[in-house]
Amino acid sequence: MKNILVTGGAGFIGSAFVRHMVATYPDYQIICFDKLTYAGNLDNLLSVSDETNYRFEHGDIADRECVASVLRTYNIDTIVNFAAESHVDRSILDPDAFIHTDVVGAYILLDEGRKHGIGRFCHVSTDEVYGDIESGYSTEDDRFLPNSPYAASKAGGELMVRAYQITYAMDTVITRGSNTYGPYQYPEKLIPFFTTEALDDRPLPLYGDGKQIRDWLYVDDHARGVDVVLHCGESGEAYNLAGENQRHNISVTEDILELLQKPKSLIKHVPDREGHDRRYAMSAAKARQLGWRCKFNFEAGLQATVRWYVENEWWWRKIKTGEYLDYYRQQYAKRLAAVD
Ligand code: NAD
Ligand code: TYD
């Protein structure tokens, strides 16, 4: 590996991966390729922008010419695909962009990568492909039962990765991460959304009874997990990157309020998300065999994250304008009005 294309590297987890790789491997060229959608943000990469082993290229993974050109220009030998539409609620409002990027984009990237003769293709996926897990833990050979358009589009992308491994003998690996949190996460996902809303004493719209369970993974642990699978994963295999920190949403919400010393009265139980999965839980045993394990426990990770949002208003205040407010109104206005 020498010239690594990191797609979606200006997003939340992709930028943590880029920062990690630039610092850890001075001999690699890290080329971030990103469409800069609403979720892409070059502020996330300010700390590496002057590094000599880092470059940024603006482009869409579903644009064949653009992908072919960047592969040629930088003589890319490795692709790590983080690029995706990633928010379940937005996929319910309009699945179109999810099919474009998570399915078609993944295919174009694989196809151009194959034609260019790249080495390893590492595809970043999610625990949501397994669907709702009433009890026990998903292992890598479990069947896919995606329930949201987001989860289905990620499952579609993964199946195309599998097909390219088997049909064209491409060298691929897949990671399936659990719910990730940490600095630089776009404030539409539970933890950064509730933290920034609570800071302004605004209502926190908790879906349904708030007893849904998510397994939380700190972003730096996720980024390191992708590095471990990229370097040590067996060709053709998928690896669960599970935080092994299961929490009810209500408990996470109360922890955030306690850290900010804000009242529980900010919590508003609003009508539930359509098709809402109750629980995700995966076994991390296979990734552990590669030597990966989480360094952050949830309490320390949440504290560091909340503190980061308190100290970095410059980063999130300018996001919470324009398109963000349109989305907020579409997603929450009726829900909040229903419980007023
Ligand atoms: P994000 O929404 O913060 O970032 C996505 C990035 O992809 C953005 O920079 C965006 O501009 C870019 N992008 C979108 N469409 C593109 C396109 N067509 N071409 C090029 N770039 C494009 O997402 P994230 O939370 O950092 O997630 C990264 C990856 O990890 C995704 O594949 C997601 O499915 C997966 N994942 C996320 C989580 C989580 O909890 N956030 C958990 C498991 C897996
Ligand atoms: P989210 O951060 O959107 O991640 P995902 O849907 O990929 O798990 O949501 C995490 C959990 O928090 C999920 O069960 C939905 C819930 N949630 C709310 O209750 N209210 C909200 O406003 C949001 C964004 C999420």
Residue 51 located in a structural domain: yes
Q: What separation in Å is there between the alpha carbon of 339 and the centre of ligand 1?
A: 32
Residue 296 located in a structural domain: no
Residue 77 located in a structural domain: yes
Helices (H), the chain: 12-24, 64-73, 88-93, 96-98, 106-116, 149-168, 190-199, 219-232, 249-260, 285-288, 298-311, 313-316, 323-338
Residue 306 located in a structural domain: no
User: Each residue of 14-59: pLDDT tens digit?
Assistant: 999 999 999 999 999 999 999 999 999 999 999 999 999 999 999 9
User: Each residue of 209-223: pLDDT tens digit?
Assistant: 999 999 999 999 999
The preferred substitution site among 7, 13, 88 for testing ligand 1, maximizing ligand atoms within 8 Å of CB, is 13
Number of folded domains in the chain?
Answer: 1
What CATH number is given to the structural domain containing 172?
Answer: 3.40.50.720
Residue 198 located in a structural domain: no
User: Each residue of 294-328: pLDDT tens digit?
Assistant: 999 999 999 999 999 999 999 999 999 999 999 99
Residue 176 located in a structural domain: yes
Residue 285 located in a structural domain: no
Output the pLDDT for position 1.
75
Point out the ligand nearest to the CA of residue 211: 2
Residue 195 located in a structural domain: no
Domain assignment of residue 115, given as a range: 3-181+217-241
Point out the ligand nearest to the CA of residue 102: 1
157 contact partners, CB below 8 Å, separation of at least 6: 84, 102, 103, 105, 106, 107, 123, 125
Q: What is the pTM of this model?
A: 0.99
